[in-house]
């Protein structure tokens, strides 16, 4: 059972991965943003207010519409990207979705659910702890109708966003770079760094500085490691979906990329230690141990830095 070698079930010439990456990127960043840009154009035409288009930036785009609509329009681009991954996999590489997902005979949905439940529980527990330790740092923001709409949008679209990122980085690029480089460490490092750099323009970077890239790259490394150790993406899919969905529903802050009608608003100043170092240095290793114990992971060295024959 070898997740990266699954790529050999299809066509693996290097140029296919180059063309495929370009197609996926265009589906995500060009076709995927058309609904958002179309909505902005419609608003400008309806209101006759051209000032919206002056100095249009990613940050200003986040404030044009009501938060639920903004979230919907932002997440749609990832749905297009996910479709792009599936099309490239099926038609350019002649590879099945199952082989892009896991080295097991079937996709293990129990693994997805376990990772989602585990990490969702950790997020709820950490949020509750932070709230009870410093309730003055939070504002109660619960508005039933807006929250219900947020739940619907979140359940429908956030898993598409996180699944796109997993299928693109931990699936498509991990397998592609693995068969090209003939080893496991190169795709693990490259996909982790590129995944982290993808978040460089998030408002969190401006608020906390470049040090937060330790968290983003560290998260990419964590997701890559559990994918390689488990020979499949199921744990990463569940973990990532819980991370974004539960966080979006529970708490937001004025400096985070997701501005939502969450239950709480965090008004505290973020700290490098609590928000960056503790997850990467303390919590992620504990999660490694939980997964390793439950799924009997062995042979770490070969699975993380071994050769692909």
C-alpha separations of 90 from 47, 187, 260 in Å: 43, 22, 35
Cβ neighbours of residue 87 closer than 8 Å, sequence gap 6 or more: 23, 27
pLDDT value for 41 = 87
Least confident residue range of 35-44, 49-58, 121-130, 176-185: 49-58
Q: What pTM value is reported for the model? A: 0.94
pLDDT band at 282 (very low <50, low <70, confident <90, very high): very high
Q: Evaluate the CA torsion angle 243, 247, 249, 250 in order and state its sign.
A: positive
pLDDT at 55 over 80: no
Nearest one of 254, 279, 274, 275 to 264, comparing CA atoms? 254
pLDDT value for 277 = 83
Contacts 24+ apart (CB under 8 A), 290-295: 290/118, 291/115, 291/226, 291/229, 291/230, 291/235, 292/229, 294/114, 295/111, 295/230
pLDDT value for 207 = 74
Instruction: Give the mean pLDDT of 287-295.
Output: 98
pLDDT band at 44 (very low <50, low <70, confident <90, very high): confident
Alpha helices in the chain (DSSP H): 14-26, 34-47, 58-61, 67-87, 97-101, 109-133, 144-165, 174-181, 185-197, 203-208, 213-230, 234-250, 272, 284-295, 300-305
- Report d(CA 238, CA 241) in Å as an integer: 5
pLDDT at 136 over 70: yes
Residue with the larger pLDDT of the pair 303 and 212: 303
pLDDT at 209 over 90: no
Terminal Cα-to-Cα distance of the chain (whole angstroms): 13
Nearest one of 199, 196, 194 to 174, comparing CA atoms? 194
Instruction: Give the mean pLDDT of 7-23.
Output: 97
Instruction: Give the mean pLDDT of 97-101.
Output: 98
- Report d(CA 154, CA 244) in Å as an integer: 9
- Report d(CA 129, CA 246) in Å as an integer: 15
pLDDT band at 308 (very low <50, low <70, confident <90, very high): very high
Using one digit for the tens of pLDDT, what is the confidence trace for 79-94?
999 999 999 999 999 9
pLDDT value for 43 = 84
pLDDT value for 253 = 84
According to DSSP, residue 8 is labeled: G
Could you give the percent of the chain with pLDDT greater than 90? 79
pLDDT at 272 over 90: no
Cβ neighbours of residue 237 closer than 8 Å, sequence gap 6 or more: 112, 115, 162, 163, 166
pLDDT band at 52 (very low <50, low <70, confident <90, very high): low
pLDDT at 284 over 70: yes
């Amino acid at each position: 059972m070898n997740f990266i070698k699954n790529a050999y079930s299809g066509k693996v010439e290097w140029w296919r991965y180059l063309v495929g990456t370009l197609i996926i990127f265009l589906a995500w960043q060009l076709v995927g943003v058309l609904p958002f840009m179309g909505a902005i154009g419609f608003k400008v035409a309806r209101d006759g207010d051209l000032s919206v288009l002056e100095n249009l930036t990613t940050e200003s785009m986040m404030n044009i519409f009501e938060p639920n609509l903004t979230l919907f329009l932002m997440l749609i681009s990832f749905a297009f990207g996910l479709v792009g991954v599936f099309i490239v996999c099926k038609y350019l590489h002649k590879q099945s979705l199952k082989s892009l997902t896991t080295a097991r005979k079937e996709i293990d949905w129990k693994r997805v659910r376990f990772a989602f439940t585990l990490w969702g529980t950790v997020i709820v527990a950490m949020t509750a702890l932070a709230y009870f330790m410093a309730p003055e740092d939070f504002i109660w923001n619960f508005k039933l109708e807006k929250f219900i709409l947020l739940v619907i949008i979140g359940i429908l679209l956030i898993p598409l966003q996180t699944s796109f990122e997993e299928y693109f980085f931990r699936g498509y690029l991990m397998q592609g770079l693995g068969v090209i480089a003939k080893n496991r460490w190169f795709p693990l490092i490259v996909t982790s760094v590129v995944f982290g750099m993808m978040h460089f323009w998030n408002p969190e970077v401006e608020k906390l500085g470049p040090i937060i890239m330790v968290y983003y790259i560290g998260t990419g490394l964590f997701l890559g490691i559990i994918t390689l150790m488990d020979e499949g993406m199921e744990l990463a899919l569940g973990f990532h979906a819980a991370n974004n969905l539960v966080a979006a529903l529970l708490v937001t802050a004025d400096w985070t990329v997701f501005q939502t009608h969450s239950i709480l608003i965090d008004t505290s100043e973020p700290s490098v230690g609590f928000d960056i170092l503790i997850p990467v240095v303390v919590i992620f290793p504990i999660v490694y141990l939980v997964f390793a114990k439950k799924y009997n992971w062995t042979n770490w060295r070969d699975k993380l830095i071994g050769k692909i024959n």
